[in-house]
Structure 1
């Protein structure tokens, strides 16, 4: 249905694509992945409205192909008085009313022929969308997303996560040939995320979904399109299988790279020997031999394997601190309550010690962000912060901690850096290199903005980190780098997250919000709770074995023990089949 051939496009300050090609075909559920700022959202814009962009190459879209769209930035319209059912069924209801209006007009009209034609067209449109069954179709979708209880509620009364699901349902029920969704999972709690998974897997049409969510990636897609370093790679299969193929390629390429490096070093020794001889023997033949060797060396270096999809530069995130503290309470919350239109949290009490890493878990709209912001501001009577604590805050509302009108350089001058050279050196660890540091923050992608927030948090050298949805918009490589930084951090972390992997891989325990209060839960019980609800009973054990084998492969590659790595890959393949 859609074919892209040798497409190239750039902005004045950045080249995005260099002769990229891919196809989208009927019934494919395609995940669109790549590092933050690589141009995924722009490519979606080109697919949806190619006339707006001057690009090289060819874009073929079937003339009858209809495209639906769910944006990553879905703002709830508080003025909408329509119910959830009416909102989802808006298109059905519109055609139904049109049919009724034509019938009324036919009762009094003397010229019935054009009305009959109009009536038949409206009936055909109604039948094409399953109009006779539209009520049961909507009910089926609401039940699938566990939102039947919200059927008659006003759209304006929904939480942000519920509204995102309702938007997805509405677009799916419009039956476009291709439905594009740009990070539909951002800020969804785990229950809503699971509902989104069910909606995606039940959808019969073609999907193109930008996502970095590892839960969705592992459970929802049969094709991967990977955009990296201006190139695209297609893979027909699951994300877990795609990662496995990348690992196989990485082992092969590293083995070749080691052999190439050995050849380069041998040739360098020969060149050095010829140069030594040339200092006391000016024979022309020896000079030609030296020149030939140097030329050969240049070719060896030039042909070194380039790997845009396996040699992805992962940011080097580190949370260093100026003041490590002994095992003492750093945050004490005692009888904390908060309410807006209704009571959200009532008489909540807990304490965080100096090296605790804690996740706050709860449904959308239960007061998690308000609590974290109150701890950061430290003006609430129920919250006490240790005098030796320095707090850093990452906000899910990026404009709270970043000034959109600043360039990246200006933002870090404001943060206390002394020189532009110091900033450039520091930000290179986070993937911001070259001219991008002169860009306005407002022009960056959501993932780039969150990576900048992480860089500011790190630069603060605080000993207590308050992180509100830090993985939102982050590509999977930055998520893994963040997990590593969290693991190595010597201070305390209080993190709101709906990302299951970040919680179980980095936190010591969780604080769960239920019935307007908070209770502490061990990581073991949290894992059991999530897996009991959403996974087969053997899934956790198999996934843990998979992670263990992957770590062994990583160590084998560090030791350049390629035979061991290849043997472990066979073991990994068997585990992936079970998942």
Structure 2
């Protein structure tokens, strides 16, 4: 069944032509990623689907009673409700039904003690019965528990779910808005950059949620791994043209490249045909005997629809970081670092040594301290204890969102760089801008008209006015489209110095990082290998960390040494330690299973009680006794509240049990 159909859609913003002849059919179960460079009109196309913008040409057909949920890139700040209440409010139909049911219960209780007509009471009862049936159909009794499950998946702690939404930053508000949409369960989800404010764990959870989502999904994203995991079609919007491909992102790249190659061959063949005809025209243009044939060929050339070959700018565009001085082998040392924010200790007694050539990705949940560690490494954040020492010839450059926000919109590109490069000559500044893809007239463009990707490149160029050999980069791919991310990836791989970066782009991590630091719960653990090594090794570390009593866990961050060959005595000791770990885990999961069984039993009993009381509330005879009906309503409300509490407890226990079992599944079976 078609939910939304776009036919011949065209759109321009003033003199800027965005796209034309866009045709797309979104059916139930369809999952489509819209990709393309920044400024191509991807968000505009989503808003045409919702009806928030009108197309200049073409038609939009939406299914009857279609429910569309739209996640924007920016959401308004709000307050006055808890996080979980805000998410539950997104299930508008269910929330509205519940409010009306509570109102009818009050009306019926009051009617029972007054001289209400039998017809009035019967009318209330009929409405209550219909609402109750619909409420149960929509899963109303478990609504809050489901909201909490979604919020947990998006990274909220249980305690934070009951805080006022006004206490959270814009990034966390985006998670609230996303959770609200997911709970609402619309027929069609439109998601504009849904992973921008999510950590890696939340991105992976969202992938799993969308994989089981019953409705259709259309998303705009520059995260290749996310696209590959979620979609079954990719639509490219580029140079005003809209082309749909079947498959995931990898399939799209293969099909697009093959299509471009075929178009290129066809265009060259067409060019040879046109050249041959034009040579004939030129040869016989002034010969009277050939006049008719010449005119025929002139018309033939005019009628030819020229084949346009889309450009693949990722293969043509490169930029590079200026060559820095070579640093010493040890680039930076942190010794017993202590960092606090008020009474909250982020790091206590942290050690770290980075060496020349390491390219480290910091990984961990939002709020764990990744940005704090990066700022300490960059020297832009003071700390309460310990020593930070740079190696010989080390020059640090720190990049974060505030460098982009600090760009002066009134300056030209050249003027903006000149303000940070007082010691450079004009020729040197032009060469530096050229390395970051600003050449010719582009250096005279105003900052205010630059795309997000261009602003990112300009901010990086300013940082490199004094070439650095230690780059500290906080989310450098934000605002970059996929092509620009490819360019940055190549530049980082070619950089001869040391890099520490924070990014939620797993593709970039896998492509660039040769070491991973996991930051969580005040601890930081170094995995001296790429992302695949980290993913595999992490399971073993979870299993064995602190397992053998009397052997201390390494303080702070330490390299993981190669394991020497074991003696038979050592092997026996290791096996005993591993067996003890398995026994402890079994006891822990056994307790969780027992608690879960008790909760599920109480859920069943409470649901049966709710059903019995609901039947009595639906009986007009109940309201003959005013006091008894009041007491029944109060017991019904208490049972409903208990259902919410049990749902939250079931969610917590299930999450803990899944985490414990996941640790078990990550543990290697062989050394």
**Partner of residue 206 from structure 2, selected from 196, 206, 214:** 196
Change (3 A) 1:179 1:71: same
Deviation per residue, 1:280-317 (Å, 9 max, x gap): xx99559x99x989x99x969x9764233x63456734
**Partner of residue 473 from structure 2, selected from 463, 467, 486:** 467
1:134 matched to 2:143? The reply is: yes
Q: Within 2, Cα distance between the matches of 1:38 and 1:330?
A: 42
Q: Within 2, Cα distance between the matches of 1:42 and 1:436?
A: 28
Q: How does 1:78-477 map to 2 (within 5 A)?
A: 79=79, 82=82, 84=84, 86-90=85-89, 91=91, 92-93=94-95, 95-109=97-111, 110=116, 111-112=120-121, 115=124, 119=128, 122-123=131-132, 126-127=135-136, 129-135=138-144, 137-138=146-147, 141=150, 153-154=162-163, 156=165, 164-256=174-266, 305-308=307-310, 311-312=312-313, 316-321=317-322, 323-340=324-341, 342-378=344-380, 380=382, 382-385=387-390, 388-397=393-402, 399-403=404-408, 411-412=416-417, 414-416=419-421, 426=434, 429=437, 437-438=445-446, 440=448, 446-447=452-453, 449-457=455-463, 461-477=467-483
Deviation per residue, 1:336-361 (Å, 9 max, x gap): 23222521222323233443322222
- Contact 1:359–1:507 under 8 Å retained in 2: yes
- Contact 1:318–1:458 under 8 Å retained in 2: no
Q: Within 1, Cα distance between the matches of 2:12 and 2:432?
A: 23
Normalised TM-score (structure 1): 0.74
| Farther off after superposition, 209-218 or 237-246 | 237-246
Q: Give the superposition deviation at 1:451.
A: 4.4
1:45 alignment partner, SS class:
helix
2:517 alignment partner, SS class:
strand
Deviation per residue, 1:7-35 (Å, 9 max, x gap): 22222352212232222222212212111
Alignment: residue pair count = 514
Q: Within 2, Cα distance between the matches of 1:43 and 1:433?
A: 30
Q: Within 2, Cα distance between the matches of 1:65 and 1:4?
A: 15
Change (3 A) 1:155 1:194: farther
- Contact 2:154–2:198 under 8 Å retained in 1: no
1:226 alignment partner, SS class:
strand
- Contact 1:224–1:238 under 8 Å retained in 2: yes
1:60 matched to 2:61? The reply is: yes
Corresponding position of 1:552: none
Q: Within 1, Cα distance between the matches of 2:192 and 2:205?
A: 17
1:504 matched to 2:510? The reply is: yes
Q: Give the superposition deviation at 1:97.
A: 3.1
Corresponding position of 2:70: 69
Q: Give the superposition deviation at 1:228.
A: 0.9
Change (3 A) 1:184 1:392: same
Q: Give the superposition deviation at 1:37.
A: 1.8
Q: Give the superposition deviation at 1:468.
A: 0.7
Deviation per residue, 1:405-425 (Å, 9 max, x gap): 656565445455969x95998
- Contact 2:267–2:309 under 8 Å retained in 1: no
Corresponding position of 2:41: 39
Q: Give the superposition deviation at 1:505.
A: 1.3
Normalised TM-score (structure 2): 0.65
Q: Within 1, Cα distance between the matches of 2:415 and 2:73?
A: 27
- Contact 2:274–2:301 under 8 Å retained in 1: no
1:429 alignment partner, SS class:
coil
Corresponding position of 1:527: 532
Deviation per residue, 1:316-373 (Å, 9 max, x gap): 3423325421443343333323222521222323233443322222221122222323
Deviation per residue, 1:239-282 (Å, 9 max, x gap): 332222123223434444666678899999x89xx99xx9xxx9
Q: Within 2, Cα distance between the matches of 1:283 and 1:307?
A: 31
Q: Give the superposition deviation at 1:513.
A: 1.9
Higher Cα Rg, which structure: 2
Q: Within 2, Cα distance between the matches of 1:431 and 1:175?
A: 48
Q: Within 2, Cα distance between the matches of 1:434 and 1:120?
A: 68
1:523 alignment partner, SS class:
coil
Q: Within 2, Cα distance between the matches of 1:349 and 1:368?
A: 15
Change (3 A) 1:317 1:57: same
1:383 alignment partner, SS class:
strand
Corresponding position of 1:543: none
Corresponding position of 1:491: 497
Q: Give the superposition deviation at 1:102.
A: 1.7
Corresponding position of 1:24: 26
- Contact 1:20–1:232 under 8 Å retained in 2: yes
Q: Give the superposition deviation at 1:531.
A: 5.6
Change (3 A) 1:42 1:284: closer
Q: Within 1, Cα distance between the matches of 2:222 and 2:205?
A: 17
- Contact 2:474–2:503 under 8 Å retained in 1: yes
Q: Within 1, Cα distance between the matches of 2:516 and 2:87?
A: 36
Q: Within 2, Cα distance between the matches of 1:115 and 1:409?
A: 73
Change (3 A) 1:504 1:18: same
| Farther off after superposition, 54-63 or 119-128 | 119-128
C-alpha RMSD of the superposition = 4.5
Q: How does 1:544-559 map to 2 (within 5 A)?
A: none
Corresponding position of 2:639: none
